[in-house]
């Protein structure tokens, strides 16, 4: 098979992020972003990474109104063509789409056809912000290259292995089933990638290690992975449950919601915005960037200190509970923007947990690097690791594995 390139598309409601990769050696050929689609101030930023092409590796920007996803993808296709990487190239094997919600049924990456589109559409009530945008991106890409396999890689898929005891909420079964209310989990491609990479870092096979993955970005989630299989995760029906995040509250007593409805006269939509956009770190101290919060703490800012402490307290609770869920833990892996960069968060999250075999070596923790690395001292029973995530590479790999197999099947 000569087609070895995969285009990865992550379509949001007003943005499209993309990467073109060559799967022979996982190299990135181009990356880019179209933002503010539908506004006057749309922007496309395209960076060819091959060093060749018209711009020789320099980023190019288009600042002009881009009306919709169709126009956005056409502009992306043109930029790729300028570098000799056009979407009409026979080297393009497939397009891999990030799809946020795959419900219970999508347990694997899936080649998209009409039935799959219908199912993703049926899941809109549980992912009202994400699935419509993902669908728009898919439909646009299908119109552009109808002959090419288009693959959906679901954020929820890695978590479909959770046992019912972890996936169900303790609410009336009939009501839950009628409305598909259960814990789905998100960031699945990241948890899958990082748990596997952590095993590799320890020189072991994924099936032989138990890992707690802490994906701490602007959105944040923890997962308990036993022998490569997810057994629990902190996000639930939606990405709101679990850890304290940049703008999301994470766990709250559900009674807070009806209390606000009754005493503050807030609507369901008002509370949705409050808990998803105005809570978490930003709600606690006005900033959601951990760098800024650390800077303010250094200046003696009390609100920033308390926000940090609440963030760490929640994180510790999840480390403890996933330790109990797994029984034996071989590694804890920190990933995403905060997890990969914020040494004080890593230090504070495991502080005082020596009895659980957890410790961080101050010097190793302070090292800045893009490489996966162990930051616990040699004597520690559990490895604490920093493992940079790469969701695009994981989507590209899963997409390529699927289409390469299909070509193999056709040849058999
Ligand atoms: P992500 O969603 O994975 O892109 O993570 C974004 C978040 O990572 C930002 O909101 C910051 O809080 C955090 N972050 C990025 N770089 C750093 C850094 N050098 N130190 C601390 N936090 C960082």
CB of 220 sitting under 6 A from ligand 1 = no
Mean pLDDT of 241-246: 98
pLDDT at 289: 96
User: What are the residue ranges of helices labelled H in 286-390?
Assistant: 290-298, 302-326, 336-341, 343-350, 362-366
- Whether 5-154 and 198-391 share one fold: the answer is yes
Mean pLDDT of 140-169: 96
Contact 9, 94 (CB under 8 A): no
Distance of alpha carbon 70 from alpha carbon 264, whole angstroms:
42
Q: Is the pLDDT of residue 405 over 90?
A: no
Query: What is the phi/psi pair of residue 340, to 5°?
Result: -80, -25
Contact 337, 216 (CB under 8 A): yes
* pLDDT confidence tier of residue 255, bands split at 50, 70 and 90: very high
Percent of the chain at pLDDT > 70 equals: 97
Mean pLDDT of 371-392: 97
Distances (CA, A) of 270 to 124, 130, 261, 275: 20, 19, 9, 9
The alpha carbon of 3 and the centre of ligand 1 are apart by a number of angstroms equal to 35
* pLDDT confidence tier of residue 56, bands split at 50, 70 and 90: low
Of 254, 179, 188, which is closest to residue 222 (Cα–Cα)? 188
Three state DSSP letters for 222-249: EEEEECCEEEEECCCCCCCCCCCCCCCC
Does 155 participate in catalysis according to the annotation?
yes
Give the pairing type, strands 43-48 and 60-63: antiparallel
Distance of alpha carbon 374 from alpha carbon 379, whole angstroms:
12
Mean pLDDT of 321-341: 98
Per the prediction, the chain carries an average pLDDT of: 94
pTM, 2 dp: 0.94
Q: Which atom of ligand 1 is nearest to the CA of 246?
A: 10
Domain parsing of the chain, residue ranges? 5-154, 198-391
* pLDDT confidence tier of residue 257, bands split at 50, 70 and 90: very high
Distance of alpha carbon 183 from alpha carbon 170, whole angstroms:
11
* pLDDT confidence tier of residue 124, bands split at 50, 70 and 90: very high
Given 22, 83, 155, 330, the catalytic residue: 155
pLDDT at 55: 52
* Domain spanning 198-391, CATH architecture: 2-Layer Sandwich (3.30)
The alpha carbon of 42 and the centre of ligand 1 are apart by a number of angstroms equal to 24
As separate numbers, helices (DSSP H) first and strands (DSSP E) second, the chain gives: 15, 14
CB of 342 sitting under 6 A from ligand 1 = yes
Q: Is the pLDDT of residue 218 over 60?
A: yes
Strand segments (E) across 135-264 = 150-154, 210-216, 220-226, 229-233
> For residue 29, how many C-alpha atoms fall within 13 Å in the half-sphere facing its CB?
25
Q: Classify domain 5-154 by CATH number.
A: 3.30.420.40
Annotated binding site for Mg(2+): 10, 391
Mean pLDDT of 138-145: 92
CB of 32 sitting under 6 A from ligand 1 = no
Annotated binding site for ATP: 17, 215-219, 289-291, 337-341
Q: Tens digit of pLDDT for each residue in 271-320?
A: 999 999 999 999 999 999 999 999 999 999 999 999 999 999 999 999 99
Strand-by-strand arrangement of the 27-35 sheet: 60-63, 43-48, 27-35, 16-22, 5-11, 92-99, 150-154, 110-111
Angle ∠(208,157,231) on CA atoms, nearest 5: 45
33-38: list long-range contacts, CB under 8 Å, 24+ apart: 34/66, 34/72, 34/75, 34/76, 36/66, 37/66, 37/67, 37/68, 37/69, 37/71, 37/72, 38/14, 38/66, 38/67, 38/68
Mean pLDDT of 396-401: 96
CB of 341 sitting under 6 A from ligand 1 = yes
CB of 76 sitting under 6 A from ligand 1 = no
Q: Tens digit of pLDDT for each residue in 173-183?
A: 999 999 999 99
């Amino acid at each position: 098979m000569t087609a070895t390139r995969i285009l990865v598309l992550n379509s949001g409601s007003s943005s499209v992020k993309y990467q073109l990769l060559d799967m022979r050696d996982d190299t990135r050929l181009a990356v880019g972003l179209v933002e503010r689609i539908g506004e006057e101030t749309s922007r496309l930023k395209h960076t060819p990474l091959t060093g060749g092409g018209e711009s020789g590796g320099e980023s190019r920007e288009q600042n002009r109104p881009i009306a919709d996803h169709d126009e956005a993808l056409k502009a992306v296709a043109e930029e790729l063509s300028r570098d000799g990487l056009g979407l009409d190239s026979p080297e393009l094997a497939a397009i891999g789409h990030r799809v946020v919600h795959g419900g219970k049924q999508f347990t694997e990456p899936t080649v998209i056809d009409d039935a799959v589109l219908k199912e993703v559409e049926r899941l809109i009530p549980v992912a009202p912000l994400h699935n419509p945008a993902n669908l728009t991106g898919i439909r646009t890409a299908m119109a552009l290259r109808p002959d090419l396999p288009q693959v959906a890689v679901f954020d929820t898929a890695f978590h479909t292995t959770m046992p019912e005891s972890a996936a169900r909420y303790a609410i009336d079964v009939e009501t839950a089933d009628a409305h598909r209310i259960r814990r789905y989990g998100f960031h699945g491609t990241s948890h899958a990638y990082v748990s596997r990479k952590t095993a590799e870092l320890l020189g072991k096979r994924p099936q032989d290690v138990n890992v707690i993955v802490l994906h701490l970005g602007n959105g944040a989630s923890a997962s308990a992975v036993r022998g490569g299989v997810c057994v629990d995760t902190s996000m639930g029906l939606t990405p709101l449950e679990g850890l304290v995040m940049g703008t999301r509250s994470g766990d709250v007593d559900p009674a807070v919601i009806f209390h606000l409805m009754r005493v503050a006269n807030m609507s369901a939509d008002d509370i949705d915005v409050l808990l998803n956009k105005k809570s978490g770190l930003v709600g606690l101290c006005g900033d959601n960037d951990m760098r800024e919060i650390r800077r303010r703490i250094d200046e003696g800012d009390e609100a920033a200190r308390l926000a940090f402490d609440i963030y760490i307290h929640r994180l510790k609770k999840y480390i403890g509970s996933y330790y109990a869920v797994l029984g034996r833990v071989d590694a804890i892996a920190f990933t995403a923007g905060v997890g990969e960069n914020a040494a004080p968060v890593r230090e504070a999250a495991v502080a005082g947990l020596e009895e659980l075999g957890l410790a961080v070596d101050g010097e190793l923790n302070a090292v800045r690097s893009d490489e996966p690395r162990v930051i616990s001292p040699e004597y520690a029973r559990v490895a604490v690791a920093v493992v940079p995530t790469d969701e695009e590479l994981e989507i590209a790999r899963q997409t390529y594995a699927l289409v390469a197999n299909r070509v193999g099947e056709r040849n058999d």
